Amino acid sequence: MHDLNNETIKSMDVWHIQLPVNAPRDHGIGLVKGAVDIIIVKLTSSSGAVGFGEGSPWSVFTGTAEASFAALNRYMRPHIIGRPLSERQKIISDCALSVAHCTEAKVALETALYDLLGQISGLRVADLLGGAFRERIDLSCSLANPDFDADIMLCERLVDDGVGMVKLKAGFASHQFDMMRLETLRKKFPQLDVRVDFNQGLNVDEAAMRVRDVAGMKPSFIEQPVAAHHFRLMAQLKQMIDVPLLADESVFNSADLNRAILQDICDGISVKIMKTGSLMGSVQLAAQAASAGLSAYGGDMFESGLAHAAGTHMIAASANITLGCEFYQAKYYLETDILATPFVIENGQVVVPDGPGLGVYVDEDKVHHYALNHAGGS
Ligand code: MG
């Protein structure tokens, strides 16, 4: 039996890596092309156990990889090295106070701490978060390629793989393009559950018309049609349509959700560990949403299988995240992942990893290979 008081954090490595992706994607607020930027954290304990975590910033959404790297390496490091693992909540709190924003860096640290604790105790991260409500999570894959023919081919692959949900990224081109894609999906793939996400892409003048038309196609939900701060317009759009309206960029954390509930802007939310900056905070955010009668799904950013695994444990431990997850990047978007074995998706469902900690293992040679920047040591 390990004594956590005797286990201290001996060293921390931080990498900024760029992983190549297989296609361009337009998400309304920004285009992703070539590669995605990811931060990897490795904590090593005094007994030699290691834990990994990932931050997946997107500059137009949460922040930059450079900011996350500096947050961990410069501002958080003094609050981490030499501390006993038994003080992990205090470490998380001290680090959160040491630098504003940088939620991706904060969740990367928390993930690495939970993974390390899991490696030492033999418990899964889902167990450390309170215990698993589910072992499989339905997968939704996003369609965001400006070349719609390529997305049709992706849909054929998804259907063959047993995936039952897709999310059409809309609002980055013309209204006609969005409606044509929706109609084509309905016709070609009637079995698919189709969601629509505007990623804040609509301006105030056009939002009502475009959202009303899209709602007429009866998607399962419409997500974040307008800018994050347009709470009043979100509330008006919610009243106008008879399909659920979900908030993503409008709700990062508990304070945002309080305001969203008070102003009645949505029927549900996207819970993302990169927005809350915390696995435990995400579990709590989902519970807060449920207490107000809101639904939730588990979203992601441009992540590797490592962050997917962290999100999977978070959803497993959240009774109220019932609309599935979007952890498709590692399998369907990255040219190559950094995990030693592939992130497991079976018959359209993400499988909650077994084994201690996150239950996945990082191929450090790959991390070194794709690294732009690395800082290590104590
Ligand atoms: Mg979204």
Per the prediction, the chain carries an average pLDDT of 95
Picking from 81, 101, 99, 100, the residue whose alpha carbon sits closest to that of residue 91 is 81
Which pLDDT band holds residue 6 (cuts at 50, 70, 90)?
A: confident
Residue count (the chain): 378
**Average pLDDT of the segment spanning 338-342:** 96
pLDDT at 305 over 60: yes
Asked if residue 351 lies in contact with residue 344, where contact means CB atoms within 8 angstroms, the answer is yes
Share above pLDDT 90 across residues of the chain, in percent, rounded to a whole number: 92
Q: Would you tell me which CATH number, out of the four given (3.20.20.120, 2.102.10.10, 3.40.50.11540, 3.65.10.10), belongs to the domain 128-351?
A: 3.20.20.120
Cα-to-centroid distance, 296 and ligand 1 (Å): 12
Asked if residue 330 lies in contact with residue 343, where contact means CB atoms within 8 angstroms, the answer is yes
The predicted structure's pLDDT at residue 28:
66
Cα-to-centroid distance, 199 and ligand 1 (Å): 5
Domain map (residue ranges) of the chain: 4-122+363-375, 128-351
**Average pLDDT of the segment spanning 355-360:** 97
Q: Rounded to whole angstroms, how far apart are CA atoms 307 and 358?
A: 10
The predicted structure's pLDDT at residue 164:
98
Assessment of whether the complete model's pTM goes beyond 0.85: yes
Cα-to-centroid distance, 356 and ligand 1 (Å): 31
Cα-to-centroid distance, 163 and ligand 1 (Å): 19
Q: Is domain 4-122+363-375 annotated with CATH 3.30.390.10?
A: yes
Q: Is residue 122 exposed (0-12), middle (13-18) or buried (19+ Cβ within 10 Å)?
A: exposed
Cα-to-centroid distance, 108 and ligand 1 (Å): 21
Q: Rounded to whole angstroms, how far apart are CA atoms 368 and 335?
A: 16
